[in-house]
Chain A
Amino acid sequence: MVEKETAEMVKFWLLLFGSFLLRLLLIFYGEWQDSVMQVKYTDVDYFVFQDAANFSVQGKSPYLRATYRYTPLLAWMLQPNILWNSVFGKLLFISFDVLTGFLIFCLLRNTNTVSQRQCIVASCLWLFNPLPMTVSSRGNAESIMTALIIFCLLMLQKGRVLLAGCIYSLSIHFKIYPVVYALPIYFYLGDGTLITKFIRTSDTAYRTNLMRKILPNKNQTVFILSAGFTLAVFTGYYYYRYGWDFLYHTYLYHIVRKDIRHNFSIYFYMLYLTTGLNNSVILGLLCFLPQFLLLVVFSFKFYRDPPLAFFLNTFAFVMLNKVCTSQYFLWYLGLLPVIYPNLHISFRKAVVVLVLWFVGQGIWLFPAYLLEFDGQNTFLFIWLAGIVFFLINIYILLTVIAAVSHTSHPCWSHTPAHNDQLSTSLCQKKSLKKIKMT
């Protein structure tokens, strides 16, 4: 048994190495394409990073580069691009990409419901997925995000709350969207009894009880303090160095961003048609409401399984965001391998869902292409395609939720972060029940 496990581990290391080599090959291919063709393999943003890194080397503000809307930390990290070789950033990004695959493996191995073999398969879903492979080798920094998020999950799983807080706020510092994980993390670090009682009773005695449950316990306090401190240090330091430019481009721009150009969002045409009209505030709230409701409901319902809560929250956030480009899809794709082994879904249905997801994008891409490259007025069709894609996304969410509902094992890890007796016993009860059933 042990020998078999060691053999599997050797295989896994080889797979990790192989996936890294494949990405290296893609980088080499990209360098070749860039040198001979006008259409570049390298992502447009990579040149933005590089220009920003150049300013960073000169001790200037990276925000001198127009459309640089990231943390100065990224420009600082990519300084070897200027000092050594412009391929450095891509090497860094594919490393984070492979690290993501490794962390997915680690995260699943600590879950008692998944065999080692399944862990490796899930990890390979990421390592050999053409999408993240091309994205990171083209020089897109999303892999840093996926690695940070999964590392944060791993730290939560291991009960390293302080570190989890630091990593979590670092991820928010890079891109703001991980704020949608705040609620599930907070509930997860509680005693795990929030929702069962919440649904059962509604008397005043319970309400005071609920207040007690919502107020932070030790773990939650540690998390809030470490996350708050880390974020404050980064924000404070960079604000001191780069001032308003930093605050605007790193945080505010992403919140107030109003891009009316066509994108996957169901809201796109509505927001475009209402630009300059006065009732935008009410509409803004109406757009925000579904997103907010879903995040709250998913957080309450699934916080005991943080990877699932993270996935559902990200998916709902992207699906209902006012701006949505294909880069956003990576945010939830990184979490898919982590929840996949726990989904009770037939292979056939998984394929159907996957095909639908691609078809939804294809239906959208066609009128979008006609508008952008052929100058035809296809706004209405793009909007209709956005609705179709939205409905497909709803269907995907329903499928995922139905697939997890069959697992009678709400306990995520065999070493729960919280040493709460009740929650541990809850896990044991469930496990026993499962054994009886089988």
Chain B
Amino acid sequence: MFPTGSRISRCMLCVGLTIYSLIAVVVSSNIVATVSRTIDKNGFHRNLRTEISIPRESIHFKPSTGDIACAVLLEETLPSGAFVDPYQLESLRAFGGPDVLCLHDVDTEKPEFLSQPLTIFIFSHLHLHEGHWTSNVTIPIHMRYQRPFQRQDYVTVTFLNPALFLRCPDTADTGEYDNIEIVFACDSMNQAVCTWFRIDYTSTKGNLDVQVPVGRLEHLPFVIGATIIITLLGCIMLIYMVIYHLPSQKKSKDS
């Protein structure tokens, strides 16, 4: 299945990523996209929603082909306080869920302070909507437990903005866009590689913040004391009852 796919293809992509950093040439961009991001829901299970919008006229097509839907790639680096569950994404895909590639195994159980930031790749197609090429992707994310804090109920986890790449079948070979170019997987199936162009975007908001509840260290002495005392007393009571207050035991002593 998807994230556990052959290790060889993973390595191939690792190479692809290094090429990306080597051949990267910074040239000013023609296309300016708009990206707006929100995080829905509360608690430890949330939805990260990304809306991409590109003006229709900024992508030029050959007259012979007309408009062709382009694909976008979001290179998203999740903070160590959050993660995606590749297996959940895999099962959501059957219901039209997002197309996400995750090149590393994800430990869904570790707390934030034992985890690393996680880079994932989200693939999506652009659709023509009111004069704009748009795409709307929602991925389910989960928050990790944080280290307890003193006099603080919440800790802030910040989601950075992603890098945005574009791939249009018609424009790719025209050389019309001389942006940063990378060779990377065409989709999350990770079977073939495509050429992607990095495009700039303006973000409607800055980075996103999520408040995660944390344990309070000033509870510590009280919690340790009460927990240990209650468990020990409960046990002593049970043992006392079992050894000295069982009628059957007294009877069997008599017999």
Contacts and interface: CB of A to CB of B under 8 A. Distances in A.
A51 B4 contact: yes
Query: How many B residues are at the interface, by size bracket?
Result: 35 or more
A398 B241 contact: yes
B45 interface: yes
A273 B213 contact: no
B95 A297 contact: no
B248 A406 contact: yes
Contacts of B43: 371-375
Nearest to B248: A405
Contact of B223 (A64, A270, A398): A270
Interface size class of A (residues with CB under 8 A): 35 or more
B237 A286 contact: no
Interface in A381-409: 383, 387, 390-391, 394, 397-398, 401-402, 404-408
B194 interface: no
Interface string B211-255: 111111101100110111011101101110111001111011101
Contact of B219 (A273, A394, A407): A273
Contacts of B242: 297-298, 301, 401
Nearest to A320: B231
A267 B229 CA distance: 12
Interface string A37-57: 010100000011001001000
A120 interface: no
A241 interface: no
B234 A391 contact: yes
A373 B234 contact: no
B231 A290 contact: yes
B237 A394 contact: yes
A325 interface: no
Interface in A198-235: 199-200
Contacts of B30: none
A377 interface: yes
A316 B222 CA distance: 24
A186 to B, nearest CB: 19
A266 B154 CA distance: 23
Interface string A256-278: 00011100001101101111100
Given A38-B92, A54-B1, A67 B44 contact: no
Nearest to A38: B95
Contacts of A316: 238
B42 A261 contact: no
Contacts of B246: 301, 401, 405
B129 interface: no
A378 interface: yes
B148 interface: yes
Contacts of A66: 4, 87, 105-108
B255 A390 contact: no
B92 A375 contact: no
B243 A297 contact: yes
B249 to A, nearest CB: 8
A227 to B, nearest CB: 27
B106 to A, nearest CB: 7
A286 B107 CA distance: 29
A74 interface: no
A38 B98 CA distance: 13
Contacts of B42: 373-375
A283 interface: yes
Interface string B1-29: 10010000000000000000000000000
B215 A259 contact: no
Contacts of A387: 226-227, 230
Interface in A46-96: 47-48, 51, 54, 64-67
Nearest to A257: B109
Nearest to B88: A44
Nearest to B234: A394
Most buried by A among B107, B154, B239: B239
A103 B217 CA distance: 50
A274 B4 contact: no
Contact of A266 (B95, B230, B243, B252): B230
B209 interface: no
B147 interface: yes
Contact of B239 (A54, A297, A376, A407): A297
Contacts of A429: 255
A390 B42 CA distance: 29
Contacts of A38: 92, 95
A288 to B, nearest CB: 11
21 contacts: A51-B1, A51-B4, A66-B106, A199-B249, A259-B109, A266-B231, A270-B227, A272-B215, A274-B220, A297-B238, A297-B242, A301-B243, A320-B231, A372-B43, A373-B44, A378-B213, A387-B226, A391-B234, A401-B241, A406-B248, A410-B248
Given A373-B44, A375-B211, 13 more contacts: A66-B108, A67-B108, A199-B253, A267-B231, A270-B227, A274-B220, A290-B235, A301-B243, A377-B216, A387-B226, A390-B234, A406-B248, A433-B255
4 A-B pairs closest in CB distance: A377-B213, A290-B235, A375-B42, A375-B43
